[in-house]
């Protein structure tokens, strides 16, 4: 790799541009939005996992003092909606499909009145049979059809066979000939692995504020990570033209993939239309835990064929994703399936592969995206299975991985995976002696840097500062700071002379939003291009000021052909004679996704208490290939955050559902890692090139994917037996030790 240029801003640990407002309480979140005449909204939710409506009576709710409106499906247009698959309704019209399904909504002067009225909406139900296990839902002919009219739903992928029960999406990956592969195999290994639902555990609950203006324009304040896509979705849901909808800028108090939809915004619109006043919805933490959209649970069965020397020849992976009651909260990518399904065969060179991933309806809470969607589940299963093969053959787990990892692309370029894997193994001390009940494990993940259209609006001001307008959502990743650093680098000025403005959906025409590790690539490139375009506009003026034939810009200074110089600040103060900007450019760019993966190998060392089964992570290594690191503090923070959420999935987090009811209704029951659970961590960054500005790569998801796999492998090494279900609770570890 060529020596990196001497950046002045890029590569420095710049404090977050929005950090001061957040730590001083100045940052505005949805709950802080207070409009004149605002009313409180409250949803009425189903207490049954599956039931048919007999009747709904709202008279007692309407009689509560302060109540302004109570609406049900009878008061709104009857249509199914969703991000891609249209399979849910704003208010259920005929039946409910999970505990928490919305059947009505109330608007009142106070939150207390709204809550009281919601409890007084009288709904008579006829209970229906329910199913909660995806295997049973798909294979048992007695299991209820959760969506009997599924074939009529708009957005249903056209590759779903007629005989698939309760399946709303299938992703099928095939290469080679599986039968031939197993015929060549000398050893066949088959196991089934299970992973739980996992709650994203953001601090800010789901919230929305909706106002209908005098002209009929719909204004929305909501914690949403993809405002432009949500604007289109809301337009479709409400039947309101997109230009009549404005999604305002607010901060997001964490989301980790969850806040791509805001169903309460539709409820708020209908209540605002009924009352003529703005409506505010704020979920309780109990509502978010029991009725929001967690990570999918999965049942993954892998059958593999291998030669006795460790060469993989066949790999058959079958994944059943528990979609919960609906699939409409997922985007159209992969036909509503999870991209992580592709990872169920790892990154190994296997000539004969089939991956069959099916999204299955159950009467559980509907699931959607969480950080690196589908990858932690699929990689956990694939990596545990690789260790199972190694045990069967008596091979070292590192050796068998290196034997089957490709080293070169078809064009001859290096595949970094083996180098990253070796770095993780070396840093954990893979071959060094260890005490009894101490184990080491490996996990390998990969992910491409995301891309999509993003718009930046750049203006040179009279004092020589730059205003950069971007509509990327602030969901806590530091994206606004990245934009500021890129702009400051292009202009060669300190970042405190760049004013980063967080815009709304009126400020720019489009933005991909926050997701898929795309912010640095997409917003960074558009900010760079818009800055360069402004500089090109200024060349004639700079030449005139220098009395030169031409000029070029470098490091905060205009330079003439004979070395004449004028600083950007002097130039702006001289040439900008009014409040109107001298130069301005708005650029929308949609960089392509990089065809190359970014690899992350992780290694864990754990100790298991043989009496209690408790697992203690003694040391953890995250090794990843990186491009130019634009902000080292933010970059490291993303790695550590990824690992900690992975530790939660591996050891303690499980959104358990009993008879359709989420049993952990608050954080006293739903355990997540705390500061006390942070292990000694080693980070190894291996420099490569990237698709982003200044050769940057995304980092927000890749280090999350293999964490649970590495820890599970280490536990199996420590106790001499695998555990086939996450999380690795003391009870499950003890059960495995006892056989």
- Per-residue pLDDT, averaged over 220-237, amounts to 95
pLDDT in tens, 426-441: 999 999 999 999 999 9
- Per-residue pLDDT, averaged over 347-376, amounts to 97
Torsion of CA 262, 170, 599, 627, to 10 degrees: -50
- Per-residue pLDDT, averaged over 615-624, amounts to 98
- Per-residue pLDDT, averaged over 681-697, amounts to 94
pLDDT in tens, 231-264: 999 999 999 999 999 999 999 999 999 999 888 9
Measured in residues, the chain has a length of 739
Contact 367, 295 (CB under 8 A): yes
pLDDT band, residue 501 (cuts 50/70/90):
very high
Average pLDDT, the chain: 94
Strands 498-502 and 552-554: unpaired
The pLDDT value given to residue 3: 41
> Which residues are 501's β-sheet partners?
469
pLDDT band, residue 595 (cuts 50/70/90):
confident
Give the CA radius of gyration of the chain.
27
pLDDT in tens, 81-106: 999 999 999 999 999 999 999 999 99
Q: Which residue has the higher pLDDT, 336 or 115?
A: 115
Give the rounded percent of residues in the chain with a pLDDT score beyond 90: 89
Examine domains 19-27+451-589 and 33-129+202-255+259-291 and report if their fold is the same.
no
The pLDDT value given to residue 8: 86
707: Cβ–Cβ under 8 A, 6 or more apart, which residues?
Answer: 376, 443, 602, 604, 642, 643, 645, 646, 647, 649, 650
pLDDT in tens, 145-172: 999 999 999 999 998 998 999 999 999 9
Query: In the predicted model, is pLDDT for residue 127 greater than 60?
Result: yes
> Which residues are 554's β-sheet partners?
557
Q: In three state form, how does the secondary structure of 426-471 look?
A: HHHCCCCCCCCCEEEEEEEEEECCCCCCEEEEEEECCCCCEEEEEC
Query: In the predicted model, is pLDDT for residue 311 greater than 80?
Result: yes
306: Cβ–Cβ under 8 A, 6 or more apart, which residues?
Answer: 185, 186, 187, 188, 189, 312, 313, 389, 393
336 φ, ψ to 5°? 85, 0
Residue showing tokens 């034997």: 403
pLDDT band, residue 581 (cuts 50/70/90):
low
The pLDDT value given to residue 579: 58
The pLDDT value given to residue 591: 84
pLDDT band, residue 6 (cuts 50/70/90):
low
Q: How far is 36 from 655, CA to CA, in rounded Å?
A: 39
> Which residues are 299's β-sheet partners?
194, 320
Rounded to two decimals, what is the model's pTM? Answer: 0.95
Fold for the domain defined by 33-129+202-255+259-291: Aldehyde Oxidoreductase; domain 3 (3.90.1170)
Q: Measure CA 577 to chain center.
A: 46
Query: In the predicted model, is pLDDT for residue 210 greater than 70?
Result: yes
The DSSP element (H or E) to which 589 belongs, if any, is: strand 583-589
| Cα four-point dihedral sign 361, 364, 365, 371 | negative
The pLDDT value given to residue 580: 61
The DSSP element (H or E) to which 482 belongs, if any, is: helix 479-491
Cis-peptide into 509, omega within 30 deg? no
Contact 344, 353 (CB under 8 A): no
Strands 353-361 and 312-324: parallel
Residue showing tokens 């999965």: 298
Q: Which residue has the higher pLDDT, 126 or 581?
A: 126
Q: How far is 286 from 289, CA to CA, in rounded Å?
A: 5
Q: Is 20 helix (H, G, I), strand (E, B) or coil?
A: helix
Q: Which of 328, 11, 347, 337 is nearest to 150 (CA)?
A: 328
The pLDDT value given to residue 417: 97
The pLDDT value given to residue 322: 98
- Give the end-to-end CA distance of the chain in Å, rounded to a whole number: 51
Query: In the predicted model, is pLDDT for residue 739 greater than 90?
Result: no
528 φ, ψ to 5°? -65, -45
Residue showing tokens 């835990």: 289
Domain ranges of the chain: 19-27+451-589, 33-129+202-255+259-291
Q: How far is 82 from 169, CA to CA, in rounded Å?
A: 14
CA angle 314, 319, 324 (to 5 degrees): 175
pLDDT band, residue 294 (cuts 50/70/90):
very high
Q: Which of 612, 620, 599, 600 is nearest to 714 (CA)?
A: 620
> Would you tell me which CATH number, out of the four given (2.40.40.20, 3.40.640.10, 3.20.190.10, 3.30.365.10), belongs to the domain 19-27+451-589?
3.30.365.10
Look at 42-46, 88-92, 578-582 and tell me which has the smallest mean pLDDT: 578-582
Give the rounded percent of residues in the chain with a pLDDT score beyond 70: 98
């Amino acid at each position: 790799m060529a020596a990196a240029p001497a950046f002045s801003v890029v590569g420095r640990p710049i404090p977050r541009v929005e950090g001061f407002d957040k730590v001083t309480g100045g940052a505005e979140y949805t709950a802080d939005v207070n409009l004149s005449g605002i009313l409180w909204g409250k949803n009425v939710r189903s207490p049954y996992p599956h039931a048919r409506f007999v009747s709904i009576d709202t008279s007692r709710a309407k009689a509560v003092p302060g109540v302004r409106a109570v609406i049900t499906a009878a008061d709104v247009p009857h249509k199914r909606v969703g991000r891609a698959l249209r399979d849910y309704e704003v208010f259920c019209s005929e039946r409910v499909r999970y505990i928490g399904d919305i059947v009505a909504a109330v608007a009142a002067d106070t939150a207390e009145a709204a809550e009281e009225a919601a409890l007084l909406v009288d709904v008579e139900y006829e209970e229906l049979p329910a199913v909660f296990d995806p295997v049973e839902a798909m294979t048992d002919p007695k299991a209820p059809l959760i969506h009997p009219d599924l074939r009529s739903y708009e957005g249903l992928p056209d590759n779903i066979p007629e005989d698939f029960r309760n399946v709303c999406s299938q992703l099928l990956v095939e290469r080679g000939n599986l039968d031939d592969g197993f015929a060549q195999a000398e050893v066949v290994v088959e196991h089934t692995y299970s992973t739980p639902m996992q709650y994203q555990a953001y601090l800010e609950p789901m919230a929305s504020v909706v106002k209908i203006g005098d002209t009929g324009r719909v204004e929305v304040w909501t914690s949403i990570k993809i405002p432009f896509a949500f604007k289109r979705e809301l337009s479709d849901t409400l039947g309101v033209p997109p230009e009549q909808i404005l999604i305002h800028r607010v901060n997001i108090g964490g989301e980790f993939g969850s806040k791509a939809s805001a169903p309460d915004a539709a409820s708020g619109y209908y209540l605002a239309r009924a009352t003529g006043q703005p409506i505010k919805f704020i979920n309780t933490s109990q509502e978010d835990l029991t009725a929001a959209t967690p990570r999918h649970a999965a049942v993954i069965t892998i059958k593999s064929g291998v030669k006795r020397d460790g060469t993989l020849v066949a790999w058959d992976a079958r994944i059943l994703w528990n979609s919960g009651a609906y699939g409409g909260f997922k985007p159209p990518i992969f036909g509503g399936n999870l991209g992580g399904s592709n990872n169920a065969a790892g990154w190994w060179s296997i000539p004969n592969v089939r991956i069959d991933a099916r999204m299955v309806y159950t009467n559980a809470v509907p699931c959607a995206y969480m950080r690196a969607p589908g990858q932690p589940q699929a990689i956990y299963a694939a990596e545990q299975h690789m260790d199972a093969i190694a045990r069967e053959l008596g091979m070292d787990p590192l050796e068998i991985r290196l034997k089957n990892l490709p080293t070169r692309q078809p064009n001859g370029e290096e595949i970094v995976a083996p180098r990253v894997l070796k770095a993780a193994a070396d840093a954990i001390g893979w071959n060094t002696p260890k005490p009894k009940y101490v184990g080491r494990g490996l996990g390998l993940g990969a992910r491409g840097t995301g891309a999509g259209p993003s718009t930046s609006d750049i203006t040179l001001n009279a004092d020589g500062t730059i205003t950069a307008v971007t509509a990327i959502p602030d969901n806590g990743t530091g994206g606004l700071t990245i934009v500021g650093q890129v702009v400051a680098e292009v202009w060669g000025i300190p970042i405190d002379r760049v004013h980063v403005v967080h815009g709304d959906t009126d400020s720019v025409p489009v933005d991909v939003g926050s997701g898929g590790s795309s912010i640095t690539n997409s917003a960074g490139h558009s900010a760079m291009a818009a800055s360069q375009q402004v500089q090109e506009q200024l060349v004639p003026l700079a030449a005139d000021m220098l009395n030169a034939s031409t000029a070029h810009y470098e490091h905060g200074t205009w330079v003439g052909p004979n070395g004449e110089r004028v600083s950007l600040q002097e130039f702006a103060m001289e040439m900008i004679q009014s409040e109107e900007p001298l130069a301005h450019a708005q650029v929308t760019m949609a960089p392509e996704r990089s065809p190359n993966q970014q690899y992350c190998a992780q290694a864990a060392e754990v100790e298991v208490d043989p009496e209690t089964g408790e697992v203690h992570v003694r040391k953890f290594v995250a090794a990843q290939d990186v491009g130019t690191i634009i902000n080292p503090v933010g970059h490291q923070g993303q790695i550590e955050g990824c690992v900690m959420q992975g530790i939660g999935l591996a050891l303690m987090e499980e959104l358990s559902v009993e008879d359709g009811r989420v049993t952990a209704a608050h954080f006293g029951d739903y355990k997540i890692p705390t500061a006390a659970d942070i292990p000694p961590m080693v980070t190894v960054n291996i420099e490569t090139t990237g698709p982003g500005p200044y050769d940057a790569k995304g980092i927000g998801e890749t280090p999350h994917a293999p964490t649970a796999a590495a820890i599970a492998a280490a536990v199996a090494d420590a106790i001499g037996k695998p555990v086939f279900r996450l999380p690795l609770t003391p009870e499950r570890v003890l059960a495995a030790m006892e056989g």
